[in-house]
Structure 1
Amino acid sequence: MISIILPTYNCADYLDRSIMSVIRQTYNNWELLIIDDGSTDNTKEICNYYCNIDKRIKYIYQINQGVSVARNNGINLAQGQYIAFLDADDLYTSNFCSELIYKIYNYDIAYSGFTYKKEDNTNKSKILKETGNILIPYLNSISNQEHPLHICSMLIKKDILIKNQILFTPHVKNCEDTEFIIKVLYVANANYFNGHLFTYLQGRAGSATSNTPIINQITSILESFKRIYISSPDNIKPHIRYLIKKEINFWLKTLLSRKLRKNIKTILSIKKWEIYNRNILNIKDKK
């Protein structure tokens, strides 16, 4: 069985279509765990309606603690052999489960490409066509600002999460999903589906990213990468160090290309973070 974990917070306007994208799956052996992170809209009423018409759907309420805690609670409650994630404003294609359950055979995770929409613009992600341990190819991709994996475009064996005590870092608003993916890729063998099975809505009003100041977003990303660096094996640390340097350079270049006066505080904050963490960034790697 696949346990699909759907955290939600005040997404009542989008929740129907996300739930329906699960109900419409051609693969039927699933459960949907909707983790309500303290919503104040009519999320509960919508969820109770679907729970009454489909017993595979379960509604769990928690006091607002953030998406990471909601996903972790979902992992702990999951009854399935496999774990998938879906955000409340995003969609699966109808063959998401059937394609990935086939691809995960003899592997720890299976993943696909994804479509991302922002207003009237629609684009498709690059597909990382790699099998086995794909950690280094993935790190190389995100170092170049390419993001071929999304937390909601993956199917993961639950055993690998439990065995390696892999959870989301609580109370992190940005990059918590990338941090989680990297921790999974440390220990997982992966297979891919050559297609796009998930649609991601970018820039939704009220989302954690849209409500977070840019400097807080950048700092959260860098701190996530720093946590990954600290916990990484020695042979992986150079790759994470390179990732951090590339991320800093990307943001400095991006901000300097805009109005300098408007972004000067953010630029100085990034440089301050860089200086404070020079003990990580200035280490010379052994050849």
Structure 2
Amino acid sequence: MVVNSCLLYPVLLSKSRNKLFILLANGVRFMSEKVSVIIPAYNAEQYIKECIESLFKQSYKNLEIVVVNDGSTDGTKAILDEYEKSEKIVKVLHTENRGVSCARNAGLNIATGSYIVFLDADDYLVQNAVEILLSDAEKYNAGIVAGLMRAGVSDQPITLDDSHVEVWSDLGALEKSLEDNEFTYSSCGKLFKREVLENVRFVDGRRIHEDSYFVFCAFLKRPTVVARNVYIYNYRVNESSASHAAFSDKYFDILYFAQEKYKTIEENYPHLLDKAKNMLVKSNIAMLQCLLNTNEKKYKRDIKNSICEVKKYKRYFLPTYPGDKKRFVIVTHNLYGVFKFLYRLKYTKRINKA
């Protein structure tokens, strides 16, 4: 049970490493689980204060804020040092710059909460986000609870309606993730029970879709997963890294993780193999869309390979969103040039409107 503390008059009985034991005015005793919020930060001086302040505003108060400064070269370190001095709930770790995956792993290694939430340094939560996620975790005995993410609008609290909840048990969430890439797209906007993340870590050295594979590995633990159809997480869009940015080899991580997922399903859950093939089709189409941002001839073979993969598994394709089918038809009918033309036309119009 999660109780809004501003409506009650609790008396603290005792405090352990992960739990607060509280006696309410009516004599009811409940446990308030500690939630660790892990924030990787690299050159985040412009937004890190708003990010941390959104946690101070949370209606749920038993938080441990873990910020990993990933070798920032701006004023991030100085800001975090001030927070660490003044706020006991902020734990700061300074590391060399090794990337977001290593930073999150470092945060996981020192977090002491019973539950884990990931938050990026330039993003922020609505004021009752943690309370919503933890309430669902306890109500449904869930190992993972997910809310929705949106480009930043407001941090104001939101009201809930149970008709907006979906629940999966056993392999249900894993199966759903193979149908819908968006379901595992980010590790943010979710609450994880600590046991679910035992021996689960982000893959070092990979920079694209590392979140997706992390969540996929958590689903392999067969937890009960709750998805609440409300926006609890606000993110910022960095225009310099939008989808029309220059292509680089890091985008091949999309296929690396897709193939790792496929191998796992093939070896352990063959009854889900058809859906894994659907996932491969969508991943290769996503790769082709990324390759539209380059004119370099050195990627010609990669383009050909992705088209071949799409055609190889085309009978397993299941569209999730309206644009999926259009892209699939274009690729499977040898119209990659049309795909490229339409893509560039779309973003030329977007730039002209800006």
Same fold by TM-score greater than 0.5: yes
Q: CA deviation at 1:251?
A: 4.1
User: Larger deviation: 59-68 or 264-273?
Assistant: 264-273
Q: CA deviation at 1:269?
A: 2.2
Mapped partners of 1:220, 1:266: distance in 2: 15
CA shift digits 1:43-93 (9 cap, x unpaired): 111111212221000110111111111111111111000000000111111
Q: Structure 1 residues 254 and 68 mapped into 2: Cα distance closer, same or farther (>3 Å)?
A: closer
Q: Does the CA-based 8 Å contact 1:111-1:149 persist in structure 2?
A: no
SS in 2 for 1:129: strand
User: Larger deviation: 72-81 or 238-247?
Assistant: 238-247
| Structure with greater Cα Rg | 2
1:245 to 281, 290, 297: 281
Mapped partners of 2:262, 2:220: distance in 1: 12
2:132 to 71, 95, 99: 99
Mapped partners of 1:68, 1:211: distance in 2: 24
* Partner in structure 1 of residue 206 of structure 2: 172
1:9 to 38, 42, 46: 42
Q: Structure 1 residues 273 and 138 mapped into 2: Cα distance closer, same or farther (>3 Å)?
A: closer
Query: Does residue 129 of structure 1 match 2:162?
Result: no
In structure 2, list runs of 5 or more residues that go unmatched: 1-33, 154-163, 317-354
Mapped partners of 1:182, 1:137: distance in 2: 10
2:180 to 133, 141, 157: 141
User: Larger deviation: 3-12 or 223-232?
Assistant: 223-232
SS in 2 for 1:18: helix
1:157 to 183, 193, 199: 193
Q: Structure 1 residues 263 and 242 mapped into 2: Cα distance closer, same or farther (>3 Å)?
A: farther
Give the counterpart letter for 2:218 in structure 1. Answer: V
Aligned-CA RMSD value: 3.1
Identity in percent: 27
* Partner in structure 2 of residue 35 of structure 1: 68
Mapped partners of 1:253, 1:169: distance in 2: 24
SS in 2 for 1:214: coil
Q: Does the CA-based 8 Å contact 1:8-1:35 persist in structure 2?
A: yes
> Which of the pair has the greater relative contact order for Cα pairs under 8 Å at 6+ separation?
1
Give the counterpart letter for 1:131 in structure 2. Answer: W
Number of residue-to-residue matches in the alignment: 264
* Partner in structure 2 of residue 221 of structure 1: 254
Mapped partners of 1:94, 1:211: distance in 2: 33
Q: Structure 1 residues 180 and 18 mapped into 2: Cα distance closer, same or farther (>3 Å)?
A: same
Q: CA deviation at 1:151?
A: 1.3
CA shift digits 1:208-234 (9 cap, x unpaired): x88984242431111111122223323
Structure-1-length-normalised TM-score: 0.81
